[in-house]
Amino acid sequence: MCGISGFFDSSLQTGESDLRSAAARMAEAVRHRGPDDSGVWTDAPCGIAFSHRRLSILDLSPSGHQPMISSDGRFVIIFNGEIYNFRDLRSDLEKSGHTFRGHSDTEVMLAAISQWGLEAALKRFVGMFAFALWDRQERTLHLARDRMGEKPLYYGWSGAAFLFGSELKALRAHPLWQGEIDRDALALFLRHNYIPAPRSIYRGIFKLTPGTVLSLSTTSAKPGTLPSPVPFWSMKTVAEAGESFAGTESEAVDSLEKLLKRAVAQQMVADVPLGAFLSGGVDSSTIVALMQAQSSRPIKTFTIGFHEAGYNEAEFAKDVARHLGTEHTELYVTPEEAMAVIPRLPTIYDEPFSDSSQIPTVLVAQMTRRHVTVSLSGDAGDELFAGYPRYPLAQKIWNRIGRAPRVGRSALAWCLRSVEAETWDSGLGWLAKVSPESLWAGRVGDRLHKLADILSMDTPELVYR
């Protein structure tokens, strides 16, 4: 994890020393993202300032320092993330005559952009990334984010300055920051327990949409006016262009295992110690098993445990670690230790976020950092492979109501939607006292509106659109 930040001062009246000072303040605000190195670069006549905090993972030498300038001098980049196929790209570029000073993926990215252009290079990058690229020839600032949005990137105008950074606290550190709470974003938070992209908690400040690039021409940019992000990748397009798997179930399992094994191997490339979070569940256990199968030494694994049996997964994790032969570390947390984390959460997450998993996540990350620099996890396994009960539940509901007349289903859906979600919650509150807790755990109205969506659909395929 690194921290990137910077800005375009549209006034073009700020001197280089002030540009550097503001950029350094932004970098200092995200020091925790990159404790190993820092750098500032400016193009004062154009009002551009870049700053970077580095967590060294690949190429620990000074040749990996950022901001980094391309060999031809045209491009300057600050980059957070990792390009997993950088070695293959480097080999292709060397065949085209490129030479390299070091061994970082950042240098390969610059060479790829110089060789193939930004759009073509983005389509070749396999990895997680958020970066800012200054094209000195075209006087254009580009911001890009990986396909899944693994790496964060915020941007927006504040007065005469176009600001961007890995975290909102970097933007807030700029002297021209004018942050105003976005009440619409706050309403979204109260519904979803987080603020979905592209909004942020601040009016006019946005999260860059995953799989897109935003290009700001500094010769024509006007404060308050934002260009639209342009997609370089679309999950919908990929899905529509794909072909159904024609093999057997056994062949599908084998193919999936090969894909997972390759993905894990690519993410184990590092010049620093690495490990994995291990909960003992299917997702993290699978990742650790694939890591251990491709490692000549025991993988370092980490688990948070709780003394309350109903919440404790540490025993399952210990069994998996023992079976796989990992070097396992666990930390049991008291309620007091968990509560002590809560006051720090707004600073860590920058904007409202109410998933209770953030508490053990912070605790296990703190413990892990004392032992390794990089850690893999099994996050998103349930989303990718439909592991949550609600996924098959939607299909079961459709199986029961799908044969009902369309007009009847539509009428019932209209009735459910005609009552606001909050009204459903308050009106049905008395049922919470006499019904199973799992059924009335919250957001009942939201669930009824989702049921209305299913009732309105014409085909079962639309259930998962």
Whether residue 67 is preceded by a cis peptide bond, meaning omega within 30 degrees of 0, is yes
Contact 229, 213 (CB under 8 A): yes
- H helices of 13-161, in order, are 16-29, 86-95, 105-116, 118-124
Dihedral, 180, 184, 188, 189 alpha carbons, nearest 10: 30
pLDDT at 457: 78
Whether 422 shows a pLDDT value over 90: the answer reads no
Q: Is 46 an annotated catalytic residue?
A: no
| Mean pLDDT of the 395-410 span | 80
Q: How far apart are CA 462 and CA 465, in angstroms?
A: 5
Q: How far apart are CA 40 and CA 54, in angstroms?
A: 12
Q: How far apart are CA 457 and CA 413, in angstroms?
A: 10
Structural tokens at position 149? 């949005």
Q: How far apart are CA 375 and CA 373, in angstroms?
A: 7
Structural tokens at position 179? 């942050």
pLDDT band at residue 447 using 50, 70 and 90 as cut-offs = confident
Whether 433 shows a pLDDT value over 90: the answer reads no
Q: How far apart are CA 47 and CA 49, in angstroms?
A: 7
Q: Mean pLDDT score of the chain, rounded to an integer?
A: 91
pLDDT at 17: 97
Q: How far apart are CA 133 and CA 118, in angstroms?
A: 9
pLDDT band at residue 436 using 50, 70 and 90 as cut-offs = low
Pairing of strands 274-277, 300-306: parallel
Distances (CA, A) of 289 to 277, 453, 459: 12, 39, 39
pLDDT band at residue 437 using 50, 70 and 90 as cut-offs = low
Low-confidence winner among 159-168, 208-217, 361-370, 451-460 (lowest mean pLDDT): 451-460
| Mean pLDDT of the 151-166 span | 98
Structural tokens at position 33? 């993202």
pLDDT at 454: 79
Backbone angles phi, psi at 180, to 5 degrees: -125, 135
pLDDT at 451: 80
CA neighbor of 270 nearest in space, from 84, 21, 462, 54: 84
CA neighbor of 168 nearest in space, from 213, 177, 9: 177
| Mean pLDDT of the 293-309 span | 93
pLDDT at 442: 57
Q: How far apart are CA 230 and CA 290, in angstroms?
A: 36
| Mean pLDDT of the 253-274 span | 93
Query: Is pLDDT larger for residue 79 or for residue 444?
Result: 79
Structural tokens at position 96? 């085209």
> 3-236, which class in CATH?
alpha beta
Backbone angles phi, psi at 35, to 5 degrees: -85, -5
Contact 123, 89 (CB under 8 A): no
Whether residue 198 is preceded by a cis peptide bond, meaning omega within 30 degrees of 0, is yes
Contact 121, 79 (CB under 8 A): no
Query: Quick one: what percent of the chain has pLDDT higher than 70?
Result: 95
The catalytic position among 2, 108, 168, 304 is 2
**The CATH number of domain 258-384 is 3.40.50.620:** yes
